[in-house]
A and B are shown apart, each in its own frame.
Chain A
């Protein structure tokens, strides 16, 4: 995963107005297996998530953006065709 992809997740989290705990809960509800601490590591760029994990976090953020009336601004890695 590129640094930019990791940074995009953190930018998305801030833009979505989600706390780390809120985002982890959404990621966990989607089926994520990483701990809240590991998720913070992904967002801070000190741990590299798998592509699957990255896209779960991206989707958790994008579901929040849809709730806010936005589209899917956070890019996926494996799910590039999701837009």
Chain B
């Protein structure tokens, strides 16, 4: 789910990271802020999202995202707990960032993005074919070996394929 946001450049994770504040959507059914992201999330059965910003040395570096299949799943106590956890994680990130150069951090971030896309595609394949996690990963690897493309590229195609088609015809004219 995070990968979808990275791919489309929109969603609560992206906004929480960019703006450095928490985004809470109690029910995606009533959410209009992210028109590309929301249908993808709903198609995967997600109903509520809580995104808390993560910082490293005072700079935004990402967000802690918690998803639920149940609308209204995150009450005030849950939001407070997520905020505390994100704050603690930010403290650790700041300490770790002092010991890592930017190249290493960049490679880790890239690996995390790749991993997220693959995990998301695994979930889609598990749902589509009623198979377990390892079998879904095998399908991705098989496709990768056949096409000589990295697993993450095929995974991205699968994630994109879950998006509803855009309406390309003329807008209906009011009578």
A residues contacting B by CB (< 8 A) are 25-26, 28-31, 52, 55-56, 59, 62-63, 66, 72, 76, 78-79, 81-83
Contact A59 B110, beta carbon cutoff 8 Å: no
> With A25-B107, A28-B111, A29-B114 given, is the CB distance from A63 to B142 under 8 Å?
no
Distance of A82 Cα from B143 Cα, bound (Å): 9
B residues contacting A by CB (< 8 A) are 107-108, 110-112, 114-115, 118-119, 122, 134, 137-138, 141-142, 144-146, 148, 150-152
Contact B142 A31, beta carbon cutoff 8 Å: no
A17 to chain B, nearest CB (A): 16
Which of A25, A56, A78, A83 touches B145 (beta carbons < 8 Å)?
Answer: A83
Main secondary structure, interface of B, reads helix
Give the chain A neighbours of B142 by CB distance below 8 A. 79, 81-82
Give the chain B neighbours of A83 by CB distance below 8 A. 145
Give the chain B neighbours of A28 by CB distance below 8 A. 111, 115
Beyond A31-B137, A56-B137, A82-B142, 4 extra complex contacts between A and B, CB < 8 Å: A29-B111, A59-B141, A63-B144, A72-B145
Give the chain B neighbours of A82 by CB distance below 8 A. 141-142, 145-146
Give the chain B neighbours of A55 by CB distance below 8 A. 138, 141
Give the chain B neighbours of A59 by CB distance below 8 A. 141, 144-145, 151
B105 to chain A, nearest CB (A): 12
> With A30-B118, A79-B142 given, is the CB distance from A25 to B134 under 8 Å?
no
Distance of A28 Cα from B110 Cα, bound (Å): 11
Contact B137 A52, beta carbon cutoff 8 Å: yes
Contact B145 A30, beta carbon cutoff 8 Å: no
Distance of A63 Cα from B118 Cα, bound (Å): 15
Contact A78 B151, beta carbon cutoff 8 Å: no
Give the chain A neighbours of B134 by CB distance below 8 A. 52
B114 to chain A, nearest CB (A): 4
Distance of A83 Cα from B108 Cα, bound (Å): 29
Contact A30 B138, beta carbon cutoff 8 Å: no
A12 to chain B, nearest CB (A): 15
Give the chain B neighbours of A78 by CB distance below 8 A. 138
Contact B137 A63, beta carbon cutoff 8 Å: no
Instruction: Give 20 A-B contacts (CB < 8 Å), ordered by A residue.
Output: A25-B107, A25-B108, A25-B111, A26-B111, A29-B111, A29-B114, A29-B118, A31-B118, A31-B137, A55-B138, A56-B137, A59-B151, A62-B145, A63-B150, A63-B151, A72-B145, A76-B141, A79-B145, A82-B142, A82-B146
